[in-house]
Amino acid sequence: MSVATRKSSVTARLPMIAGIAFVVLFVVGFVISADTPDPDERLEWRRWYFDSGHRTSAVVGMYLMLLGVLAFVWFLAGLRQRLSEGGASDTLVSLVFGAGLVFAILAIGGVIARSVVPAGKVFVDQSLPGGDIAQQLEGLGFGTLLIPGALAAGAFVAAASAASRQIGALPAWLTIAGFVVAVLQLIGILFFPFALFVLWVLVAAIVLLARTPRVTT
């Protein structure tokens, strides 16, 4: 087996591994940084950020989620190439990449909004704002992720499912599940539909990885 063939196989497999890494990093980062006060406990927000442990957790979670989004972009590029080389419609392939890229941008924006207060204190010793501002930035971050972010994620999953169905890149059951997940993203604001999007990406990445030929020496 030639060196070029081995490199081609590795190049095809790495983006799918990046898709799995996206889910792991994004979920772990979210869990680490999500232990904030309840929305109606406005007086607790400033006190919460006075705790250096809370600030550190928020910043670490931010880094993990951002790394996860970058891994998603790598997965996205590999998926586009896989669908294009398989003969999927150019329009669908473009929609897969475009919607996925919009999701990535919105996800980064949401993560940054949620991290403005703790990161400002950790990195430049910025004064902590009032609890209302901290709470509103948290709401902005979640809102960006779960409303426009979810809509972009839904468009990505729908296009990826349609393109995969054209060329048999994914099993029929997974493409059908993708259409259901895409429709559920229209609900917005709710966390469960968005979690299903992340789960779909994980399963799709695993399936595509398993379907990528391994080169043995």
Are 163 and 92 contacting, i.e. CB atoms less than 8 angstroms apart? Answer: yes
Q: What is the pLDDT of residues 60-72, one digit of tens each?
A: 889 999 999 999 9
The mean predicted confidence, pLDDT, of the chain is 85
* pLDDT tens for each residue of 19-63: 999 999 999 999 888 776 665 566 666 666 666 777 788 888 899
Highest mean predicted confidence (pLDDT) among 4-18, 45-59, 66-80:
66-80
Q: How many CA atoms lie within 13 A of 191 on its CB side?
A: 5
CA distance 8 to 117: 44
Give residue 1's pLDDT: 45
Q: Which sequence spans correspond to the domains of the chain?
A: 3-210
Displacement of CA 109 from its chain's centroid (Å): 12
pLDDT at residue number 50: 66
Angle, alpha carbons 50-52-57 (nearest 5°) = 115
